Amino acid sequence: MIRSLGLKALQRMDPEKAHGIALRALRGGLVPAWSGPVPTSLRSRVLGFELTHPVGVAAGFDKNAEAVTPLLDTGFSFVEVGAVTPEPQDGNPRPRMFRLATDRAAINRYGFNNDGMQVIGSRLAARGEGGVVGVNLGANRDSADRAGDYGTVLRHLAPWVDFATVNVSSPNTVGLRDMQAREALEEVLSRTLAVRDEIAPRVKLLLKIAPDLTDAQIEDVAEIALATGIDAIVATNTTLSRQGVRHPARAEAGGLSGAPLMTRSTRILARLAARTEGRITLIGVGGISSGADAYAKIRAGASLVQLYTALAYDGPDLVRIIALDLARLLERDGFTHVSQAVGIDTFRSTAG
Ligand SMILES: Cc1cc2nc3c(=O)[nH]c(=O)nc-3n(C[C@H](O)[C@H](O)[C@H](O)COP(=O)(O)O)c2cc1C
């Protein structure tokens, strides 16, 4: 009751301020831990990680690694912090985050505001061990070598993370998405992989893509991902499309997330899955707000899923609700383990 009143109060505030308060509440231990049993059908061994279930926190929620352990305690099975850039940066002027409540969506144009890799590294070091933690790698807006920034951040943060995601899909840094084009993508991935192989072979390297890629671009991404040997693809980031969105704030510039992104993002994921046929791990993110949404991503080809925007509407209990609903859906369809459903709608047949 008190918690739902708190959530309602947050939803009436400026969204950036509300997010800061939510992070402080997490840090202050005001959000209860998920202590109940997790169905064994959800246990996931993915990328060598042992996870109690496949639902994690998407990048951008804890940009500065301030609430990693509390987020794990609330029940998320893994956390991706960042985006982190080499140098700290302020991001775009405020307001830069908009709630589109009637669409259960959000638009943000933060522009990689973060404390920078030095401060964030100290925070991760102070946190200690425990849980699966990744970093979303970003590039400074004014960098003379954006493609090199990803490796710079990885080099600095590698001791404290299990995976790192090359984010060339944020719409809020002008020109960043151009790095998804064939040659630029090959360059950024091979340079970042070289750093990974040199200093931290145990850290998994992921690539996060936009939901606005054409089919030809998806083919390129699939081919390059397989050829370079990165470990996984995260599909997707926010969209520039406003399709299906009615709220007046739809006119704001930035990336759209939340419910209206679900179909578009899952379609990209499914295409990627059909193209790669299980040869690379996929992580599904974009518009998840229920167990059914998570299940749809898994059936499309995701081994793990992440979410952000729905948390602002439904609060931290959502992770437990999604995981338990997912377990029920798996059981309903005769799966004894979540891994059996991965890609069942795209590249795997139910027979055998
Ligand atoms: C306010 C905000 C900030 C975000 N920041 C990042 C970021 O720094 N790096 C990144 O890869 N994705 C970022 N994202 C995208 C999310 O990680 C996720 O891909 C997207 O929001 C779709 O998931 P959702 O519909 O569950 O929110 C951000 C999203 C939001 C709403």
In a domain, 280, yes or no: yes
Q: Is 139 in the pocket of ligand 1 (CB under 6 A)?
A: no
User: Does any domain span residue 15?
Assistant: no
Domain span holding position 280: 43-341
| Ligand 1 center–CA 278 separation, angstroms | 25
The predicted pLDDT at position 5 comes to 61
Structure tokens, 337: 């383990």
For residues 298 and 286, is the Cβ–Cβ distance under 8 A? no
Total of domains in the chain: 1
pLDDT at 352: 42
- Say how many Å lie between the CA of residue 308 and the centre of ligand 1: 6
Determine, yes or no, domain membership for 30. Answer: no
Annotated active-site residue in 77, 170, 265, 290 = 170
- 282 within 8 A of 302, measured Cβ to Cβ: yes
238 C-alpha vs ligand 1 centroid, how far in Å? 6
Q: State the number of CA atoms in the 13 A half-sphere of 342 facing the CB.
A: 24
> Rounded to whole angstroms, how far apart are CA atoms 316 and 132?
18
Q: How far is the CA of 258 from the centre of ligand 1 (A)?
A: 9
The rounded Å distance from CA 325 to ligand 1 centre is: 23
Query: Is the CB of 239 inside a 6 Å radius of any atom of ligand 1?
Result: no
136 is a domain residue: yes
Q: Does residue 260's CB lie within 6 angstroms of at least one atom of ligand 1?
A: no
Tokens of 10: 């947050």
Peptide bond into 152 cis (omega under 30): no
Give the pLDDT score at 350. Answer: 57
Instruction: Tell me how far the alpha carbon of residue 107 lies from the centroid of ligand 1, in angstroms.
Output: 10
CATH number at residue 151: 3.20.20.70
Q: Ligand 1: which residue has its CA nearest to atom 30?
A: 60
Ligand 1 closest atom vs CA 238? 20
136 lines ligand 1 (CB under 6 A): yes
Q: Which of 274, 306, 231, 302 is nearest to 60 (CA)?
A: 306
Residue 2 within a domain: no
* Pocket of ligand 1 contains residue 237 by CB under 6 Å: yes
pLDDT at 175: 81
Query: How far apart are the C-alpha atoms of 237 and 58, rounded to whole Å?
Result: 9
* Nearby residues of 261 by Cβ (< 8 Å), 6 or more positions away: 105, 211, 236, 238, 239, 286, 287
At 60 the three-state DSSP class reads: coil
Residue 155 resides in a domain: yes
Ligand 1 centroid vs 257 CA: distance in angstroms? 7
pTM: 0.97
Residue 114 CA: nearest ligand 1 atom is: 8
| Pocket of ligand 1 contains residue 83 by CB under 6 Å | yes
- Residue 111 belongs to a domain: yes
Q: Per the domain annotation, does 17 fall within a domain?
A: no
**Closest ligand 1 atom to the C-alpha of 259?**
25
Q: What is the pLDDT along the chain (352 residues), one digit of tens a residue?
A: 556 667 777 878 889 988 988 899 888 888 888 888 899 999 999 999 999 999 999 999 999 999 999 999 999 999 999 999 999 999 999 999 999 999 999 999 999 999 999 999 999 999 988 999 999 999 999 999 999 999 999 999 999 999 999 998 888 888 888 887 888 899 999 999 999 999 999 999 999 999 999 999 999 999 999 999 999 999 999 999 999 999 999 999 999 999 999 999 999 999 999 999 999 999 999 999 999 999 999 999 999 999 999 999 998 889 999 999 999 999 999 999 999 999 999 988 654 4
The pLDDT of residue 21 is: 87
Does the beta carbon of 61 lie inside 6 Å of ligand 1?
Answer: no
Burial readout 13-46 (b: 16 or more C-beta within 10 A, e: otherwise): eebeebbeebbebbeeeebeebeeebbebbbbeb
Look at residue 92 in the predicted model and tell me its pLDDT: 94
Atom of ligand 1 nearest to the CA of 257: 25
Q: Which numbered atom of ligand 1 lies nearest the CA of 83?
A: 8
* CA 272 – CA 136 distance, rounded (Å): 21
- Tell me the HSE value of 63 on the side-chain side, using a 13 A CA sphere: 19
Ligand 1 pocket, mutate which of 237, 266, 268 (most atoms under 8 A from CB): 237
Annotated active-site residue 170? The verdict is yes
